[in-house]
């Protein structure tokens, strides 16, 4: 791999998820007190092959740590790859991919995520990993947060899969709006077009986020025919998130290569709809600066940047939308951050006291 600052190479859902590390107030202390070196992955997944994808993930973790990174961020559903068939054919045709995609989707408590967490511990690096989470019979577009000591901090789910994604994935809930206190600072993340949801973004800003991971799948599909799906709009969404929220944005992005076309494209038309490239990883400062030189869109690699907390103070002094640059007397956001389990067990009903039989007779 070459570098861009860069190194490059062409279970059932619990009823309650612990979100105690999530701060729900906007008046939080700044915990990012030193420069943090981060890494954004731009790479092609190992399509529909979980074992190979885990190996690739662990290899990239090692490369990023060797480059001095304290945090590495991966694209949306990097394991086992984004399900591009949903944009290329009918739902009936897509069913041919469903069993393989499901069996290669990862659980949050399985051996695969444990191996990735062990690699994070071994290399002393935080990881934010995009993956397809399998829970019971459903799949979710998830991000795992792993500390540099190998602790699984949390797993969050995309609140609302976009358009045809809803043929594959279920929805998250209010508990998936998460920002975590870590040794690097306050760390959060969203997937793809969650960055076009104004209320979601404001809820995240309110939690004092300092480093944000914006995970993207690739900007290759329908190139030239659907501007909203292309790099101009979506890299702008990452940039605006940084400036609106005064947070660093680490935006990893997938790549469509020959392997993707071999997996998903069985006609010339499909190869036109899903052309090679689409890799647009970026790293932005909280005042809009570009902090890493981009790679070519067909190139695989890792972008690096050093994040100075001084930029946070400078950006916040100009515009803090959940502080001095807000008008809560005019506009407020109502958020339900509670988990929404499908089944809630009612408490046992109190049983009436049993009378003794035969009744006790009063003495004559």
| Catalytic residue chosen out of the listed positions 112, 165, 192, 194 | 192
Question: Which tokens sit at 331?
Answer: 């506009």
CA distances 226 to 87, 209, 222, Å, are 12, 31, 6
Alpha-carbon radius of gyration of the chain? 23
Coil, strand, or helix at residue 8? strand
Question: Which of these is catalytic: 44, 133, 158, 316?
Answer: 158
Report which of 124, 117, 142, 285 is spatially closest to residue 210, judged by C-alpha positions: 285
CB 247 within 8 A of CB 209: yes
**Rounded Cα distance, 238 and 234, in Å:** 7
Annotate 31-44 with three-state secondary structure: CCCCCEEEEEEEEC
Torsion angle of C-alpha atoms 57, 73, 7, 122, degrees rounded to 10: -60
Q: List the one residue out of 159, 151, 96, 158 whose CA is nearest residue 131.
A: 158
**158 catalytically annotated:** yes
What CA–CA distance (Å, rounded) separates 173 from 170? 10
- Contact predicate 85/98, CB 8 Å: no
CA atoms of 355 and 364, how far apart (whole Å) = 21
Active site annotation includes 201: no
Residue 7's H or E segment, with its range, is strand 7-8
Please give the torsion angle defined by the CA atoms of residues 344, 200, 70 and 294, in that order, rounded to the nearest 10 degrees: 140
Q: Determine contact, residues 273/221, Cβ cutoff 8 Å.
A: yes
Residue 112 among the catalytic residues = no
Determine contact, residues 76/215, Cβ cutoff 8 Å: yes
Q: Which residues are catalytic?
A: 76, 158, 192
């Amino acid at each position: 791999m070459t570098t861009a600052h860069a190194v490059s190479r062409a279970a059932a859902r619990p009823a309650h998820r612990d979100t105690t590390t999530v701060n729900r107030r906007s008046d939080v202390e700044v915990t990012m007190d030193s420069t943090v070196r981060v890494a954004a992955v731009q790479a092609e997944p190992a399509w529909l092959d979980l074992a190979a994808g885990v190996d690739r993930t662990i290899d990239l973790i090692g490369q990023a740590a060797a480059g001095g990174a304290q945090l590495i961020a991966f694209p949306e559903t990097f394991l086992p790859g984004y399900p591009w068939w949903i944009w290329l054919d009918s739902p009936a045709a897509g069913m041919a991919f469903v069993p393989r995609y499901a069996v290669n989707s990862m659980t949050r408590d399985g051996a695969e995520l444990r191996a990735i967490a062990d690699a994070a511990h071994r290399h002393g690096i935080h990881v934010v990993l995009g993956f397809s989470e399998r829970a019971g019979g459903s799949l979710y577009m998830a991000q795992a947060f792993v500390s540099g000591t190998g602790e699984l901090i949390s797993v969050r789910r995309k609140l609302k899969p976009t358009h045809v994604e809803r043929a594959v994935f279920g929805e998250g809930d209010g508990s998936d709006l998460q920002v975590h206190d870590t040794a690097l600072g306050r760390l959060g993340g969203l997937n793809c077009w969650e960055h076009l949801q104004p209320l979601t973004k404001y809820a995240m800003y309110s939690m004092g986020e300092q480093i944000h991971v914006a995970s993207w799948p690739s900007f290759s599909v329908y190139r030239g025919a659907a501007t909203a799906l292309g790099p101009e709009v979506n890299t702008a969404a990452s940039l605006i998130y940084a400036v609106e929220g005064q947070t660093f944005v680490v935006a990893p992005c997938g790549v469509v290569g020959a392997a993707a076309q071999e997996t998903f494209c069985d006609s010339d038309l499909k190869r036109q709809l899903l052309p090679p490239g689409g890799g647009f990883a970026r790293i932005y400062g909280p005042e809009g600066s570009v902090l890493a030189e981009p790679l070519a869109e067909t190139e695989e690699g890792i972008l690096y940047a050093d994040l100075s907390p001084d930029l946070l103070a400078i950006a916040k002094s100009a515009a803090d939308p959940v502080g001095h640059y807000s008008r809560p007397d005019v506009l407020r956001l109502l958020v339900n951050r509670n988990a929404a389990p499908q089944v809630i067990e009612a408490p046992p009903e109190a049983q009436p006291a049993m009378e003794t039989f035969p009744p006790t007779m009063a003495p004559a």
